[in-house]
Amino acid sequence: MIEKGNAIPSVRVKLIGADGETTDTTSDAILGTGRVAFFAVPGAFTPTCHVNHLPGFVANEAKLKAAGIDRIVCASVNDVHVMKAWAEASGAVGKIEFLADGNGELADALGMSKDFSGSLMGKRFVRAAMLVRDGVVESVFVEDAPGVTATGAPAILMALEANPS
């Protein structure tokens, strides 16, 4: 798994930007400039991700930016169409950018992939978050049990207070 001090790998992804437009890009291009709050979820529209994880980042966008975050990025192993629909349905457009990791290549490159075949979901991201500055990982947070505690917006805000920009 990626660790503090590691550089973000370069993997092809699709970005749904703050303007709601979709572009082809790479993970290092998105996470490589400024200070980024990155969080990864097992699936768009899945109950915990949709109800407990994403809404906290949407609600705390201004606080995260006031704490020194330049961009907030959410990733999932879903296709770009699902990720765009999720961004729109969640009211996140203009606040959070979304990376569609359709093949799970970024999840693999970060060492954050998990086999959810038992739930008929295939390979997905583990529930995780990172603080990244100019393409280098500052902190990594991974949930060790179901739910959102270590990787939610409140935990990221606490980490930022402990390590301000």
Catalytically annotated residues: 49
- How many angstroms separate the CA atoms of 163 and 138, rounded? 9
How do strand 71-76 and strand 97-100 relate by DSSP bridges? parallel
